[in-house]
Every structure is written in C-alpha cells, then in structure tokens.
C-alpha cells in the first residue's frame, strides 16, 4: 500500500490555443464558449473574447503590480433557486454581458430543455459596468418567445448583443440567433441557422462586425467549425481534430489566466513570466474563485472573473472586475500567511480567511500552498516559512513540534474568551498537547478504532490482552477470521497510534528494530486476512466515531467500540483531520491567534457536516446532536458530550516518507520471504538514513 501524497488538484492551469484553422480569415470574430468546453482560443486584438471554465487571453508583459477590484453578486431568479451558474459571458464597449441560469428544486430528472419548457429553469442576461455596477437584469422569457431557450451570449465590436437559442417547438425545432437590446428589454431580430443534421450541440459562438456567425459544434460524427452568413445560410464547415487543436500555438502577445487557492495567476506568454496575486491582496472571496472560474479579458488588460459556485445550494454567482494598477498590495494590510501542504482547502478554512480579512483593518490572511513537504520544512527552518500552518490527515506537524519550531499557544488560549471551556471542547485540545504545551490544535477530529459484538468492556486493549481475548475464538469455527482486514491495514492502524514511540525528530533517531515494533508486525500478520480472501463476516471490523450519528448506529446494532490493540497502552486514537499551528518566528503571534479564534467560531465550524468529523465548537456540536433527536434521547446526547469531555485518547501521528518505507519493506515479511526481525532491521536502516539526511 503506497501512502502517496495527495496533491491539490484545484489549480486550473490554462491551455491557451490559437484560432482553429477552420475559421475563415474574413470572419474577424468574438469567441464564446459554454461551460462544458475547456478549450480557450486566442483571438485577434480587435476582438474581445469570453472564456469557459479555466483560462483566458490578455495583453502581453509587463505584468501589472496589482489590480483594483470591483465586485458584484448576480442572483438567481428566486430564493428557492438552486444550481445557479454562468452559461457564457462577453464584453462589448466595456460592458460585461453575463448569461446566468438558475433552476428551482424539482423532483424530476430532466434535460435542460425540458426544465426550461416546464418553468423550472430560468435565464437572465445581466449587463455589468466596468466598475461593478449592474446596468440591467433582463429575464429573458420576457423578451424571447416561449419556444426559445438561450444557450450562449455573444457581442461584436459594435456592441450588438446576440443570443444563440435552441428552438424547442415541435414543428420548428432547430437553432436561431436572436438580437436583443437589454437596456430596452427588446427583441430586435431573429435569424434561423441552416444547421447540419449531425450537430448535437454548440460550444462556441462568434459574430463579426458584418453579422456573420461562426460556431463550434459537437457532432455525432466529427466535431466541426461551422460558418454562416448574416442570413443563417451555411457557408463552410471544417472538421476539428484533437491533433489540430494540440498543434495550434498561442501568439506571443497573449497571457494565460488561472486561479487556485493561492490566488489569481497571470502568465505572460511573451516571456513566460508568471505572477500570483493573492486573494487577500485583492480583497476577493477566495471560496468563490479558487476552483471553477471563467476569465473574460478587456482590451486594456483588465479582466472579469466569474466564479461559478460549488454545490447545488448557491443562490448567486460572483463577478469581480480587476483593473491593472502599479500599486503592490492595494489594501495596505500586513500579510499573514497560512501554509497548507497536501490539502484541499475546505469550506471551513476558506470561510475563516474571508471572515478574518473582512473584519481586520490592519492584517490580511493569505494561503500559501506547498505541494512539496520538504520545501515547507526547508522554508520554516530557514525562517522563510508561513506564519501559521494548516495540517491535515496527510500532513502532521509533530516533526516541527519536536524541533521547537512551533509557538506554544497555552498562554494565548488561557486569555481567550473564544476558546473558553464553555465555547469549545478544551479537553480535546489537551489531548493533542505535546509535553503539556499546545503547539497544535485540532479544528475537527474523529475517534478511530474497532467495533463488534461480544467485545470486553473498556475503551481499549494491549496486544497481550487482545491475544487473551482472541484465543478461544481462534479455536472456534464461528468465523475463520477474527478481524477482516489485511495485514498492512492492521499495521497502519497501530503504527498511526504509536508512531512517536519509534521516531524521534529531536535527535533524529528511530527504533524500528525494537521488540515493540516487531510485536506489532507479528500481530498484524497473525490476525490479518490475505489479499486473495474474499469478504467474510468477522467478529471485529474497523470503525470510526465522527459524530453523534455513529453512537446511534452502535446503539441500534448492539456494537461495542474500542481502540486498536496497542503494545504500549489501551487508549483510543484521535485523527489529525485538520489542525492549526503558529510558527515560532511569526512577527504577529497575537494576530495569528485571532485568526485561529475565527476558525473555532460557530460561523466557521458550521461548515463541518454532521457525520463528517466532530466539531470543537459546542454550539455546532449541540446542533449536530439535536439533528439526531429521533434516534438519540437527550440523556444519550448529554452522555456523548461527557464521553468527549473525558476521553482517554491520543492523536495519531505519521510521516509520509516513513510510512512509505514501512509499507514497501513489510511486504517481504507478510509474503513469507523474510522474518519480522529481518524486515524490521531493513526498515530501521532506511528510516535512519532518511532522518540523518534531514538534519
């Protein structure tokens, strides 16, 4: 089993590609794409382009020092609107035209066309000025005949607004281009297109100054670029091959856009210079633009960012218009960085960043994404690291704790009303303490272990007590396997709980050749199930308590929850799902701690869904318990709180490199090619070399 690093995948690297060779040179055109298409086309400098999900084009270097930002929210049609999203956008005469769809809840599964026809899907055309003012909001069913469903908006250099529409009528089904005047809520003209029969849908729509149309079509046979004259007559079709798209190169005057948790990325294709403009410096809502963003450039180097929401419960989309400026960090705030490694920034973190930045007049939080743990450690040890560190289940801060590189927050916590015992589960904070000091705080947590029927009382057991319990069952035909888990899974669970017994980063030593580790190897092999064995019922299985609903499940099934057997003690194990630390060298420890207080507020902790880890905030935890009132009595809910407040547990720990070494080398023992002592000696040698190399 390979514990490979989970790298952030939200960075939308943009491929900027030139106009397809199939587009006729006479058609100087504005290109528009739907959300399903991910190809971005370079356009002539006399034409403005709209862009789909992840990229755009802009003037070449020099890149601006910063941007002045104007933002606006474009709402869905009603308070019940769900799945609000931008279909397409286009700029004409510095006015941004945005086609927004919003759907009301429906119990039926229907196509967009059926939803639109039945009144569950609404289309609005917004016009937004360059300073972020909504000039008009046109409900399109008020100007379009009922049979027309708009799909893509486009404009030409004269400022005319065109809508590519699907005609949904049974007797005249097809595609038409309608010209509208949004400010007057008027339909000006309609042109039917002579569309080839094999066209499934269109993904791009362009109009030149003479009114001729160029469309990119997804076809049942071969995708095509199709040219029409101003009267809708078919002029030309050109097949599009993936090879042709890949071979098309950008011009030297273009720049590529992208966005991720770090901020807004601009890369000059003239000299490959790249700059990242952090969301905090731009005073933008990172949660709206970190994942799925479309970019619409203006001719002067400004750019509109349209952030489509994640999930199906958003009521609006966010639009920010960025105008270049020579001022670095226009907000003037002091930046505090939060380093994250191998983690997807979740809603809780993004919400906390936005709330803190909105409330602070002097400081601003910026997320810094480290895709390489070694780079993070090197920066911290050289004094170039972040101010705070956000850990997760794939990255542990224990190495930094042992090296004395983190700040002890005990004093700050004692004076904090936000982290007082009546606000948060302070006992859980204490369980994560290292040498009675609070270097790392869990933001959420879960309890891992095993569950089953007929298990002995108590929270846990040692390897010896488990062997005593297991002996009569080993001689019984009740179940061939006591635990249905492969040997490595059992070893991984026990090693997560006892990692610090075998690795000491303070003096760079390890003890994997000890009797204690060899005993864990032998335990895992003795009770593990070989790979080839199909699933069978077993007395014991892995389990997790990550909410009050788990207590209800255990109660209904008559299961007992206990810790993994350990060779040192019989305590439960806590996950390191999300944690937060302050680096010792930060110049603003009190302000960094104020951000931590924000993370534990009810507003932020409410992002933790019931059944997906246990929140530390008492108000949110009470809400989770109340939501299970049909399965859990008030007395049982109170007992669960008491259980959390009196836990005998310790946090799991790990190092990805160490776990990879262990996973690779124990295979020889589990496969019968080496003894436990021989495998342990090899692990000891390799881990020792790894620790020595990082002094």
User: Rounded distance, CA 356 to CA 578, Å?
Assistant: 18
Q: Could you tell me the sign of the dihedral formed by the alpha carbons of 339, 342, 343, 345, in that order? A: positive
Residue 332: count of CB within 10 angstroms of its CB: 11
- Look at the chain and count its residues: 695
In the chain, what are the helix, strand and coil shares in percent, each to the nearest 5?
Answer: 25, 30, 45
> Are 429 and 416 within 8 A, CB to CB?
no
| CB of 437 closer than 8 Å to CB of 443 | no
Contacts of 451 (CB under 8 A, 6+ apart): 540, 541, 543, 554, 559, 560, 561, 562
Which segments within 129-288 are labelled E, that is strand? 134-139, 148-155, 161-167, 174-181, 186-192, 199-207, 213-219, 224-228, 234-239, 255-260, 263-268, 274-278
The CA distance from 252 to 250, in Å, is 7
C-alpha angle 249-250-256 in degrees, rounded to nearest 5: 135
Task: Report which DSSP code applies to 51.
Answer: -
For the packed helices 656-665 and 487-502, what is the interaxial angle rounded to 10 degrees?
130
pLDDT of residue 427: 94
The whole-number pLDDT of residue 45 equals 26
Helix (H) or strand (E) holding 350: helix 347-359
As a whole number, mean pLDDT of residues 429-446 equals 92
Pairwise pLDDT comparison (269 vs 321), residue with the higher score: 321
Which has more pLDDT, 120 or 475? 120
Cα Rg of the chain, angstroms: 30
Residue with tokens 């949660």: 287
Task: Please give the pLDDT value at position 81.
Answer: 58
For residues 28 and 265, give the distance between their C-alpha atoms in angstroms, rounded to a whole number.
Answer: 28
Which band of pLDDT confidence, cut at 50, 70 and 90, is reported for residue 330? low
**What element of type H or E holds 589?**
helix 589-599
Other beta carbons within 10 Å of 531? 10
Mean residue pLDDT of the chain comes to 79
Task: Looking at mean pLDDT, say which of 114-123, 236-245, 576-585 comes out highest.
Answer: 576-585
C-alpha–C-alpha distance, residues 265 and 275, integer Å:
6
148 Cβ neighbours under 8 A, 6+ residues apart: 165, 166, 167, 168, 176, 178
Return the bridge partners of 341, or none: 370
pLDDT confidence tier of residue 616, bands split at 50, 70 and 90: very high
Percent of the chain with pLDDT over 70: 80
Residue 596 has pLDDT above 90, yes or no: yes
First-to-last alpha carbon distance for the chain, in angstroms, is 28
- Of 592, 581, 584, 596, residue with least CA distance to 407: 584
Closest residue by Cα to residue 140 from 191, 97, 83: 97
Report how far apart, in Å, the C-alpha atoms of 121 and of each of 307, 314, 318, 494, 627 are: 20, 15, 19, 52, 32
Eight-state DSSP code of residue 319:
E
Alpha carbon distance 545, 33 (integer Å): 46
Task: Judge contact between 666 and 673, C-beta under 8 A.
Answer: no
- Asked if residue 168 has pLDDT above 80, the reply is yes
Exposure class string for 198-225: b at 16+ Cβ within 10 A, else e: ebeebbbbbbbeebbbbbbbbbeeebbb
CA separation for the pair 540, 530 (Å, rounded):
16
Q: pLDDT band for position 299 (50/70/90)? A: confident
φ, ψ (nearest 5 deg) of residue 106:
-145, 140
Q: Please tell me the predicted confidence (pLDDT) of residue 344.
A: 60
- The Cα–Cα gap between 390 and 370 comes to 11
What was the pLDDT predicted at 150?
Answer: 92
CA distance 591 to 311: 32
Q: What angle do CA 368, 372, 374 make, to 5 degrees?
A: 110
pLDDT band at 5 (very low <50, low <70, confident <90, very high): very low
Angle at 581 between CA 284 and CA 263, to 5 degrees: 20
Phi, psi of 438 (to 5 degrees): -100, 85
147-165 pLDDT, tens per residue?
888 999 998 887 889 999 9
In the sheet that holds 274-278, the strands lie side by side as: 255-260, 263-268, 274-278
How far is Cα 225 from Cα 274, in angstroms, rounded to an integer?
A: 32
Q: Among 35-44, 66-75, 340-349, 547-556, where is mean pLDDT lowest?
A: 35-44
Alpha-carbon distances of 439 from 375, 509, 628, rounded to whole Å: 21, 22, 34
**pLDDT value at residue 467:** 81
Helix (H, G, I), strand (E, B) or coil at 59: coil
Per DSSP, what are the bridge partners of residue 451?
Answer: 541, 561
**Residue 31, C-beta contacts closer than 8 angstroms, at least 6 positions apart:** 19, 41, 43, 47, 49, 50, 204, 206
CA distance 580 to 573: 19
The pTM of this model reads 0.62
Phi, psi of 347 (to 5 degrees): -65, -35
What pLDDT is attached to residue 542? 81
Query: What percent of the chain has pLDDT above 90?
Result: 25
pLDDT of residue 317: 85
For residues 552 and 633, give the distance between their C-alpha atoms in angstroms, rounded to a whole number. Answer: 10
CA distance 509 to 596: 33
Please give the Cα distance from 19 to 275 (Å, whole number): 26
Residue 46: how many other CB atoms lie within 10 Å? 10
Average pLDDT of span 171-192:
87
Q: Do the beta carbons of residue 340 and residue 373 sit within 8 Å?
A: no
């Amino acid at each position: 089993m390979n514990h490979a690093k989970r790298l952030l995948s939200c960075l939308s690297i943009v491929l900027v590609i030139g106009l397809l060779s199939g587009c006729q040179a006479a058609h100087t055109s504005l290109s528009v794409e739907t959300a399903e298409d991910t190809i971005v086309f370079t356009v002539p400098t006399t034409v403005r382009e709209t862009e789909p999900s992840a990229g755009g084009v802009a003037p070449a270097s020099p890149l601006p020092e910063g941007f002045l930002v104007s933002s606006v929210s474009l709402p869905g049609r009603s308070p019940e609107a769900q799945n609000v999203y931008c279909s397409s956008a286009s700029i004409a005469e510095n006015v941004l035209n945005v086609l927004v769809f919003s759907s009301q809840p429906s119990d039926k599964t229907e196509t967009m066309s059926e939803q639109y026809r039945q009144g569950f899907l609404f289309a609005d055309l917004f016009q937004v000025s360059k300073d972020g003012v909504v000039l008009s909001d046109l409900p399109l069913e008020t100007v379009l005949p009922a049979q027309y469903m708009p799909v893509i908006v486009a404009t030409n250099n004269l400022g005319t607004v065109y809508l590519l529409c699907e005609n949904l009528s049974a007797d005249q089904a097809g595609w038409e281009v309608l010209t509208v005047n949004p400010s007057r809520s008027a339909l000006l003209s309609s042109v039917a297109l002579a569309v080839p029969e094999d066209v499934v849908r269109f993904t791009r729509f362009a109009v030149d100054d003479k009114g001729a149309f160029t469309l990119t079509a997804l076809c049942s046979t071969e995708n095509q670029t199709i040219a029409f004259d101003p009267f809708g007559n078919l002029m030309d079709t050109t097949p599009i091959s993936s090879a042709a798209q890949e071979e098309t190169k950008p011009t030297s005057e273009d720049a590529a856009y992208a966005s991720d948790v770090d901020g807004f990325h601009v890369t000059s294709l003239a000299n490959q210079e790249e700059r990242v403009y952090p969301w905090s410096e731009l005073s933008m809502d990172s949660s709206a633009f970190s994942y799925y963003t479309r970019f619409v450039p203006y001719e002067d180097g400004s750019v509109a960012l349209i952030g489509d929401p994640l999930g199906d419960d958003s009521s609006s989309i966010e639009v920010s218009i960025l105008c270049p400026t020579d001022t670095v960090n226009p907000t003037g705030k002091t930046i505090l960085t939060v380093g994250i490694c191998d983690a997807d920034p979740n809603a809780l973190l993004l919400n906390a960043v936005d709330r803190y930045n909105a409330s602070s007049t002097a400081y601003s939080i910026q997320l810094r994404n480290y895709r390489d743990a070694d780079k993070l450690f090197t920066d911290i040890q050289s004094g170039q690291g972040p101010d705070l560190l956000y850990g997760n289940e794939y990255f542990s801060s224990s190495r930094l704790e042992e090296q004395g590189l983190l700040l002890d927050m005990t004093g700050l916590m004692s004076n904090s009303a936000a982290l007082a015992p009546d606000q948060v589960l302070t006992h859980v904070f204490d369980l994560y303490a290292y040498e009675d000091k609070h270097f790392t705080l869990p933001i959420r947590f879960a309890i891992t272990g095993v569950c089953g029927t007929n298990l002995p009382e108590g929270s846990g057991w040692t390897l010896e007590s488990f062997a005593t319990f297991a002996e009569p069952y080993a001689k019984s035909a009740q179940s061939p396997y006591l635990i249905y888990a492969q040997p490595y899974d059992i070893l991984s669970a026990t090693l997560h709980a006892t990692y610090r017994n075998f690795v000491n980063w303070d003096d760079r030593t390890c003890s994997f050749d000890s009797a204690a580790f060899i005993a864990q190897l032998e335990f895992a092999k003795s009770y593990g199930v070989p790979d080839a064995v199909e699933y069978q019922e077993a007395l014991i299985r892995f389990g997790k308590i990550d909410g009050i609903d788990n207590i209800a499940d255990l109660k209904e099934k008559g299961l007992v929850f206990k810790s993994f057997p350990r060779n040192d003690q019989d305590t439960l194990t806590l996950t390191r799902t999300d944690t937060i630390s302050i680096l010792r060298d930060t110049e603003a420890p009190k302000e960094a701690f104020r951000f931590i207080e924000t993370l534990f507020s009810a507003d932020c902790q409410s992002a933790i869904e019931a059944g997906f880890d246990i929140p530390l905030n008492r108000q949110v935890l009470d809400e989770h318990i109340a939501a299970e009132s049909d399965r859990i009595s008030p007395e049982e809910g109170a007992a669960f709180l008491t259980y959390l407040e009196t836990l005998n547990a310790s946090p799991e720990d790990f190092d990805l490199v160490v776990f990879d070494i262990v996973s690779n080398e124990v295979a020889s023992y589990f496969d019968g090619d080496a003894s436990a002592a021989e495998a342990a000696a090899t692990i000891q040698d390799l881990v020792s070399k790894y620790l020595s190399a990082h002094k």
